[in-house]
Amino acid sequence: MVKPEPGKGRLYLLRHGQGSLGTADYDRLSAIGQRQSLALGDRIHQELPAAAQRPWCGTLKRHGQTLERLNPLTDPVVDPALNEYTVDGLIQSALAQAIHLGLEPPGEQAFADPKAYLETFLAWFPEVLTAWQDARLDCEHNGSWIDFRRRVLSPVSRWRQDMALGLSPVVVTSAGVISTVVADLLGEDLTWQRELNVSLYNASVTVLEMDDSGGWRAPLINCVIHLEGATERTLA
């Protein structure tokens, strides 16, 4: 085993493999998602000694199923702070308040076949996020954006402690969580966060590290070089 080098840890933020969009249970990996996760695991083990990995994931099924295929050496830290907001909940609230908020939702055809109209939803969803982040959209399913942001940032102090010991947190989570954490640590605004939120690929790799002054930098954001072919590079 390779002993971790003190102070050289990096933070790996990994989006889960493709879920089962358009089915009764999105929160499970599709066949593509399973392949993506295996390729992701191969990449992580090539880049990072197993002894240096500190695995983390949320409690959602797609998080755990992705991490299983990474085959970590140690048991993961399973933290509900890494769970995604409920997309359906935000959309339902947005539809109920659309007139008040001035939103123009996609048509009935899009809701009948969200997989076929994915680009339509990805183009519209930042408007929903904006209303939520501005505290104009009330969402009983997810609570406030402020609370969501506070929750997903809560593990950062522990990640920094691990990194100082030479360990690299390998965190399997979702696009909303990753985009929020990365935007906050890099000092980017919410427009940047929303754009990243809807452009993160399944099984993508985002890497952050500390610079000499104690600030954060991102050598990689949304990297999918380990996924071969357009069919393996999916957004949902």
Which pLDDT score, from 0 to 100, does residue 42 have?
97
Residue 214, phi-psi category: left (phi > 0), alpha (psi -120 to 50), beta (remainder): left
Which pLDDT score, from 0 to 100, does residue 229 have?
87
Structure token digits, residue 179: 């985009």
Tokens 């100082």, residue located:
164
Which pLDDT score, from 0 to 100, does residue 2 have?
46
Label the pairing between strands 168-173 and 11-15. Answer: parallel
Which pLDDT score, from 0 to 100, does residue 192 have?
99
Question: Domain boundaries in the chain?
Answer: 11-84+158-231, 86-141
CATH (residue range 11-84+158-231) = 3.40.50.1240
Which pLDDT score, from 0 to 100, does residue 204 have?
99
Which pLDDT score, from 0 to 100, does residue 6 have?
59
With a CB cutoff of 8 Å and minimum separation 6, the contacts of 175 are: 15, 84, 196, 197, 198, 200
> Do 167 and 4 meet the contact criterion of CB atoms below 8 Å apart?
yes
What separation, in Å, do the N-terminal and C-terminal C-alpha atoms of the chain show? 36
Question: Whats the size of the chain, residue-wise?
Answer: 236
What is the number of other CB atoms lying within 10 angstroms of the CB of residue 137?
Answer: 24
Q: CA 78 to CA 172: how far, in whole Å?
A: 10
Which pLDDT score, from 0 to 100, does residue 175 have?
99
With a CB cutoff of 8 Å and minimum separation 6, the contacts of 83 are: 58, 59, 60, 63, 173, 174, 177
**Positions in the chain whose pLDDT score sits under 50:** 1-2
Which pLDDT score, from 0 to 100, does residue 5 have?
57
Q: DSSP states of 31-71 as a string? A: HHHHHHHHHHHHHHHHHS-GGGEEEEE-SSHHHHHHHHHH-
